[in-house]
């Protein structure tokens, strides 16, 4: 049986060949190994047809050019040599495209990423649409890899070395106008005329290589290069803490190409690609990618979700404003905010205005789009306009009686089908629904702060929540651009429950005399984006510690915070960044300001020891408390599986992505080793480190959290 091809060649009357890319039965075009032969066959036809004047690559998909290479292809490689051969094959095909004697133009609409951009770079010219869906970038670093089909060599020559380094090291994606400005594309046109404009470009002579700006030419020279690479290497080391080997290899490979010429550069690129594909970091990051893709496809329940046409939000504070914003800007849903005070409504509207206006200033959206999205948000001090809301999300104070009152009011003022979703971080959903007339339509939807940035939401059904309510809320979360994880209605749910012992342990280290910045730096070195104490400052010490008594009363002593430290800090009016003073002091100049540890904090804590632990010892204590609690959550079915637990920890609290999440990390070191470390710590510091029964059992039987095939290390 002949395989349907993803590449179709049509020759127009003006002798321009148009190659249409359309991967069969796929939503996205991704480059697969089997496409190599198809492309080669087309290139052979092009070379043989002497009447052709130009060639255009264009996609038949409505919203993507080529979204990258198929990651499964890399997963199937069982050695560095096999992965290197994949890169060499990609390089070879790109070289054949580039060597064609006629002008070759990439006509780009939608996502043009990874291998897709590498194909476009191999063409002689590029033209893209001015559509919001169009983005260009090389995101391979996010999977612990580097571009393997010539991207590390072609991009610096096209846009200059400093722009290329920024794009490849961060995975930054450029919008059409940004791509035009740096010289990545030659023209930006409306979608309707993309093909015609590309054909017109193909009928011209081959585009002459763009002359780079003086700054980029200086930086590519021997002296500028040395300075630039040294500076970027230091900055990268600071950012990655040496936890991401891909960053270092990217610098080496680009430098090889600049100093030793292209052919050495291509050979170094393929070799580095093969070796990086086998690193545990890349395997963990790829597993995370697959897991998040699966979670995004998971409907949450078997039932069909109800239609979503309009939503309501109760409370115009920081959370309410953020929820309204993502519902309108991402979900394109009309949102009605209710607050007892007009000030609250104004605050929420202003919040959305600022976020949208920032996008206009950065040219991400047009002023007309900002106004259109803003027009979706309205406010009221009573329930007018709530009659037909499909979902009402509550974001009021953490007070059970108040939330129960909200349920009663929504049931009285809204439609019989309206779902009540509570953004609580600590109160049981079953208690909130206890007096409801329609408990099956009450559910938890826990956002993380700041709402517009944090990708995760926890969806929390209680015992009586209907499957349709679950499916509808999961659908809403996805419309808001979030990754939803369904968790059980137990104290702290999942994310806060594993976070609390981690932060508590950091507090204990403080009481033992360890310094604030020493503890934070230790966990940043381990791989967290910020340390536990800074995290507490960021979310607000008052908000962040609210959960501790709830957890303590549910699970006992292991959740108790060290003696009075929290109350001493709160009594001193320290809330963290939001009021400019917490464990750190913040300059009033705003987010960008430098923070420094407030020395007065040690007087409030009154440490009892000298603090003699190394960074590794500090990190070990905090992380092991988190891992032990995560294993308990797995056992109690707070999360459905290890996949959801890993996604929840990475997306909710920044657990180091290169370790793949707490469960993948425990699998990689083995349950026996986790138990041994916990037992050692329990002897040293007390019974809170006692390994839970699940871990003991797993260590005894040699079990793992993930099915074996998912985490098998590649030798």
Q: Which residues are identified as catalytic? A: 458
Q: Are 295 and 647 in contact (CB under 8 A)?
A: yes
Distance CA 691, CA 698 (A): 11
Beta bridge partners of 458: 446, 485
User: Which residue stretches of 414-512 are H helix?
Assistant: 429-432, 467-479, 495-511
Beta bridge partners of 444: 422, 460
- Strand 173-174 and strand 135-137: the pairing is antiparallel
Distance CA 444, CA 398 (A): 13
Tokens of 387: 């009659």
Output the DSSP codes for 601-631: HHHHH--SS-----HHHHHHHHHHHHHHHHH
Q: Using alpha carbons only, what angle is made at residue 221 by residues 219 and 224, rounded to the nearest 5 degrees?
A: 45
Output the DSSP codes for 114-146: THHHHHHHHSSEEEEE--TT-EEE-GGGGGT--
Q: Are 66 and 21 in contact (CB under 8 A)?
A: yes
Distance CA 531, CA 507 (A): 12
- Strand 377-380 and strand 335-338: the pairing is parallel
Q: Are 450 and 483 in contact (CB under 8 A)?
A: no
Phi, psi dihedrals of residue 51, rounded to the nearest 5° = -90, -10
Q: Are 185 and 135 in contact (CB under 8 A)?
A: no
Single out the residue of 502, 495, 494 nearest to residue 623, CA to CA.
Answer: 502
Output the DSSP codes for 69-91: B-HHHHHT--SHHHHHHHHHHHH
Distance CA 663, CA 643 (A): 8
Beta bridge partners of 483: 456
Q: Are 644 and 486 in contact (CB under 8 A)?
A: yes
Place of tokens 């339509």: 441
Phi, psi dihedrals of residue 205, rounded to the nearest 5° = -65, 165
Single out the residue of 483, 477, 481, 478 nearest to residue 495, CA to CA.
Answer: 483
Q: Are 244 and 57 in contact (CB under 8 A)?
A: no
CB contact set of 434 (below 8 Å; sequence gap of 6+): 404
Q: What's the alpha-carbon Rg for the chain, to the nearest Å?
A: 27
Distance CA 443, CA 560 (A): 28
Distance CA 480, CA 216 (A): 40
């Amino acid at each position: 049986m002949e395989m349907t091809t993803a590449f179709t060649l049509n020759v127009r009357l003006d002798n321009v060949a148009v190659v249409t890319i359309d991967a069969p039965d796929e939503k996205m075009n991704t480059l697969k190994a089997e496409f190599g032969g198809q492309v080669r066959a087309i290139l052979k036809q092009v070379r043989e047809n002497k009447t052709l004047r130009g060639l255009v690559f264009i996609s038949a998909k409505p919203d993507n050019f080529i979204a990258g290479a198929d990651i499964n292809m890399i997963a199937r490689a069982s050695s560095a040599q096999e992965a290197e051969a994949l890169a060499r094959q990609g390089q070879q095909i790109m070289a054949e495209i580039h060597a064609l004697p006629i002008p070759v133009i990439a006509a780009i609409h939608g996502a043009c990423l990874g291998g897709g951009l590498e194909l476009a770079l191999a063409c002689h010219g590029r033209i893209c649409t001015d559509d919001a869906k169009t983005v260009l970038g090389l995101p391979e670093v996010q999977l612990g890899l580097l571009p393997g089909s010539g991207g590390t060599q072609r991009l610096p020559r096209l846009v200059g070395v400093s722009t290329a380094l920024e794009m490849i090291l961060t995975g930054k994606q450029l919008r059409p106008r940004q791509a035009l400005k740096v010289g990545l594309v030659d023209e930006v046109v409306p979608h309707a005329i993309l093909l015609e404009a590309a054909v017109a470009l193909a009928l011209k002579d081959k585009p002459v290589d763009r002359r780079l700006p003086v700054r980029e030419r200086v930086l590519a020279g021997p002296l500028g290069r040395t300075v630039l690479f040294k500076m970027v290497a230091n900055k990268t080391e600071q950012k990655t803490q040496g936890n991401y080997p891909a960053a270092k290899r990217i610098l080496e490979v680009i430098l090889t190409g600049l100093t030793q010429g292209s052919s050495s550069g291509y050979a170094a690129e393929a070799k580095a690609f093969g070796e990086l594909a086998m690193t545990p970091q890349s395997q963990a990051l790829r597993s995370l990618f697959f897991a998040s893709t699966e979670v995004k496809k998971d409907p949450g329940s078997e039932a069909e979700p109800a239609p979503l046409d309009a939503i309501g939000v109760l409370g115009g504070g920081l959370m309410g404003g953020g929820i309204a914003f993502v519902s309108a800007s991402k979900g394109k849903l009309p949102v009605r905010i209710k607050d007892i005070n007009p000030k609250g409504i104004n605050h929420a509207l202003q919040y959305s205005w600022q976020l949208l206006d920032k996008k206009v200033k950065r040219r991400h959206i047009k002023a007309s789009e900002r106004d259109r999205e803003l027009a979706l948000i309205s406010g009221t001090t009573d329930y007018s306009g709530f009659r037909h809301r499909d979902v009402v999300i509550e974001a009021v104070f953490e007070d059970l009686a108040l939330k129960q009152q909200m349920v009663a009011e929504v049931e009285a003022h809204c439609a019989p089908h309206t779902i009540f979703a509570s953004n609580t971080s600590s109160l049981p959903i079953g208690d909130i629904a206890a007096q409801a007339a329609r408990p099956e339509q009450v559910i938890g939807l826990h956002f993380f702060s700041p709402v517009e940035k944090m990708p995760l939401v926890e969806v929390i059904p209680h015992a009586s929540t209907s499957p349709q309510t679950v499916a509808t809320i999961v659908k809403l979360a996805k419309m808001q651009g979030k990754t939803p994880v369904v968790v059980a209605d137990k104290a702290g749910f999942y994310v806060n429950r594993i976070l609390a012992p981690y932060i508590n342990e950091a507090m204990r280290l403080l009481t033992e005399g360890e310094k604030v910045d020493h503890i934070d730096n230790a966990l940043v070195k381990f791989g967290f984006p910020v340390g536990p104490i800074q995290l507490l400052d960021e979310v607000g010490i008052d908000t962040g510690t609210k959960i501790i008594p709830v957890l303590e009363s549910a699970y006992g002593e292991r959740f108790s915070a060290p003696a009075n430290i929290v109350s001493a800090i709160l009594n001193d009016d320290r809330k963290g960044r939001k009021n400019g003073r917490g464990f750190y002091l913040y300059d009033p100049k705003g987010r960008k300001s430098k923070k420094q540890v407030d020395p007065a904090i040690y007087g409030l804590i009154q440490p009892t020891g000298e603090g003699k632990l190394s960074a590794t010892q500090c990190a070990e204590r905090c992380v092991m408390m988190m891992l032990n609690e995560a294993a308990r959550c797995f056992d109690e079915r707070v999360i459905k599986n290890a996949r959801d637990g890993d996604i929840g920890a990475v997306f909710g609290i920044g657990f180091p992505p290169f370790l793949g999440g707490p469960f993948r990390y425990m699998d990689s070191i083995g349950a026996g080793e986790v138990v041994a470390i916990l037992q050692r710590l329990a002897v040293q510091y007390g019974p809170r480190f006692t390994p839970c029964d699940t871990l003991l059992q797993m260590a005894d039987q040699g079990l793992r959290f993930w099915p074996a095939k998912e985490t098998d290390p590649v030798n």
